[in-house]
Amino acid sequence: MQAAEVKADQNAAFAPRIFSGIQPSGGLTLGNYLGALKRFVEKQNEGIETIYCIVDLHAITVWQDPEKLRHATREAAAAFIAAGIDPVRSVLFNQSQVSAHAELGWIFNCVARLGWMNRMTQFKDKAGKNSENASLGLYAYPSLMAADILLYHATMVPVGEDQKQHVELTRDIAAKFNHDYKVDFFPVPEPVIEGAATRVMSLRDGTKKMSKSDPSDQSRINLTDSADAIAQKIRKARTDPEPLPDNIDGLKDRPEARNLVNIYAALSGETAEAVIAQFAGQGFGAFKPALADLAVAKLEPITTEMTRLMADPAEIDRILGDGARRADEIAQPILARTLDIMGMIRSR
């Protein structure tokens, strides 16, 4: 089956609900902020029901040092809150506290087809040449992600460009389950990919995604970086010798220049066209300091608030526990009904 074809009103029976997640596989980056967190806050503020998850079960698909995982999970929670997620209006929790994710993930392992999984490009990228040595979990990652989303009957999934294929697989799993059991039980959720920075690229290589697990710290801006570190990384970002063009088409074969313009646009809330109009004809000697000032102005308050929140890890754990209880209340009836549809006896 290809990405599920859905009737226009397929999700009409479901209340609009947003689910998305971030892996605590390291400190969060500017890519995670612009592609995910910033947009998660916008969705919350639009008044849609929002459920956000720190997906620690996904993070362990590659080995994680236990102390670092604990720290990264709390730090991700601090980043959500510092960026503007209100843990009362949104549900914010870490995945492993709601065991229904793993249970529905197993069920979806039995719904997803090997042929579908074999097409997943993220597995190929992450497993690299040594795929025989990759964990089975890394291979099954997309069906656990489908469980994360469908466990809450979410209808919309804000993600960066790199996760589009996984949301399409989620749609296929939902449609196949509904078809196989002759039900309209799961919605077929839509990926929501919007804004100027759906794919923020590495500062060292404009053809590679900015990633928290890139071995080069210079390739990314971390949400914990100091103002000096941010300015230095932008100053040293790879570029070409040409000045900025006077229209967007002039960025076509200039991935590094395009990336910096997109970052500026996403941070300032302008379009890339407006940024180009402002800086046309100027070299990077002028553009980079303007970008560094903007990045520091936008990120410094978040970093400061994260530091304040991280000083009280017990409070972060309390917030995550509270979110997990609320998530569980939504998830349990949906899991129970899924098992019932499949013919599993539930008698205790």
Residue ranges in contact with ligand AQP by CB under 6 A: 22-23, 25-26, 29, 31-32, 34-36, 159-160, 162-163, 197-200, 209-213
Q: What is the nearest approach in angstroms of ligand AQP to the Cβ of residue 159? A: 4
One DSSP character per residue, 229-283 reads HHHHHHHHS---SSPP-SSGGGGTT-HHHHHHHHHHHHHHT--HHHHHHHHTT--
Identity of the residue, 70 or 199, whose beta carbon is nearer to ligand AQP in the bound complex: 199
Residue-by-residue DSSP string for 130-158: -GGGS-HHHHHHHHHHHHHHHTTT--EEE
Say if residues 274 and 264 touch (Cβ distance below 8 Å): no
> CA-CA distance, 211 to 288, in Å (whole number)?
21
Closer residue to ligand AQP (CB): 80 or 177 = 80
DSSP helix/strand/coil, 64: coil
Nearest CA-CA partner of 185 in 174, 196, 199 = 174
Catalytic residue among 126, 164, 208, 288: 126
Kindly list the distances between the CA atom of residue 13 and the CA atoms of 38, 65, 189, in Å, as whole numbers in the listed order: 29, 43, 12
Of the two residues 19 and 177, which places its CB atom closer to ligand AQP in the complex?
Answer: 19
Q: How far is the CB of 39 from ligand AQP (least distance, A)?
A: 9
Pick between residue 74 and residue 212 the one whose CB is nearest to ligand AQP: 212
Distance CA(121)–CA(190), nearest Å, equals 19
The CB-of-201 to ligand AQP minimum distance in angstroms stands at 7
What minimum distance in Å lies between the beta carbon of 173 and ligand AQP? Answer: 18
**In this structure, is the dihedral angle defined by the CA atoms of residues 90, 95, 96 and 102, taken in order, positive or negative?**
positive
Residue nearest ligand AQP, Cβ-based = 35
The question of whether 124 is a catalytic residue gets the answer: no
CB 339 → ligand AQP: shortest distance, Å? 27
Q: Tell me if residue 305 falls in helix, strand or coil.
A: helix
Closest to ligand AQP by CB, 31 vs 323, is: 31
CB closer to ligand AQP out of 60 and 178: 60
Contact 146, 170 (CB under 8 A): yes
Tell me the closest approach of the beta carbon of residue 263 to ligand AQP, in angstroms.
10
Q: Is 212 a catalytic residue?
A: yes
- Considering 38, 176, 212, 233, which one is annotated as catalytic? 212
Residue 246 amino acid letter: D
Q: Whole-angstrom Cα distance, residue 238 to residue 225? A: 19
Active site residue 38: no
Catalytic residue among 38, 176, 209, 298: 209
- Residues with catalytic function: 126, 209, 212
